[in-house]
Amino acid sequence: MDIPQHIVLFPDGNRRWAKQKGLTSINGHKRGYDNLLDFSEWCKSRGVKVLTAFGFSTENWNRSKEEVNYLMKLLEDCLTDNLEKYDSDGVRVRVIGQKERLPESLQNAIKKVEEATKNNSNLFLNLAISYGGRWDILQAVKKIIKDKITADEIDEKLFESYLSTASLPAPDFIIRAGGEKRMSNFVLWQAAYSELYFSPKLWPDFSEQDLDLALEEFDRRHRRFGK
């Protein structure tokens, strides 16, 4: 089977899942993060080398203060509580996004997990926190201008080296749970030739079997890269 090297994940539907079960959105987010831990294990066991998961978008700052504060604390606790597991499993963790906007305690947790896992190579887990595809492109342009690079020097390879995903392979496969069929301002440049897969399953219900169904679909496709 042809296994994608780099999967991008939209773990969508946590709040809808919670509402269906009469729970709070906070319960849904917690269940969603727990499922992300399982999903990373499933990917690693199938030979996926890079997983990039959408954790908190630039647009998510517009949610209620209570929900935002909870999500920040949830991300901090999950990074801290699972640091040893990530390390023992050989998972390298990195956070991409506007780290300067995050609470200081979360920034510190990110630094610790990134430092502790930097030499691991079984799976490269990128968590996109306060990330947006337009932001990523814009910050790359600003850095290029700051470095005084001329227009004639700029090509796709150079531009990609300024994106937050620099040094990573382009995503082969994008999986979105939750039934929605859109990119929601995520890895817009990077997804140019990615295969897209939309699952109707709400993220907390997305199972190992659902991943296998997605991978079987990827294996059936013929990537032409515009040729």
58 is in an annotated binding site: yes
Distance from C-alpha of 42 to C-alpha of 179, rounded to nearest angstrom: 21
72 is in an annotated binding site: no
Selecting among 12, 35, 136, 172, the annotated active-site residue is: 12
Task: Specify whether the CB–CB gap between 213 and 175 falls below 8 A.
Answer: no
Q: Give the closest residue to 191 by CA, choosing from 163, 227, 219, 151.
A: 163
Q: How far is CA 51 from the centre of its chain?
A: 7
Burial 20-44, CB ≥16 within 10 A → b, else e? eeeeebbbbbbbbbebbeebbebbb
1 is in an annotated binding site: no
46 is in an annotated binding site: no
178 is in an annotated binding site: no
184 is in an annotated binding site: yes
15 is in an annotated binding site: yes
Which amino acid appears at position 171 of this protein? Answer: P
Q: What DSSP character marks residue 198? A: E
Q: Which two tokens stand for residue 11?
A: 């773990």
Selecting among 2, 35, 38, 60, the annotated active-site residue is: 60
176 is in an annotated binding site: yes
Q: 3-state DSSP call for residue 127?
A: strand
Burial 128-164, CB ≥16 within 10 A → b, else e? bbbbbbebbeeebeeebeeeeeeeeeeeeeebbebbb
29 is in an annotated binding site: yes
Active site residue 12: yes
182 is in an annotated binding site: yes
221 is in an annotated binding site: no
Instruction: Catalogue the active-site residues.
Output: 12, 60
Binding residues for Mg(2+): 12, 195
What residues are designated binding site for substrate? 13-17, 29, 57-59, 61, 63, 176, 182-184
Question: Annotated binding residues, as ranges?
Answer: 12-17, 29, 57-59, 61, 63, 176, 182-184, 195
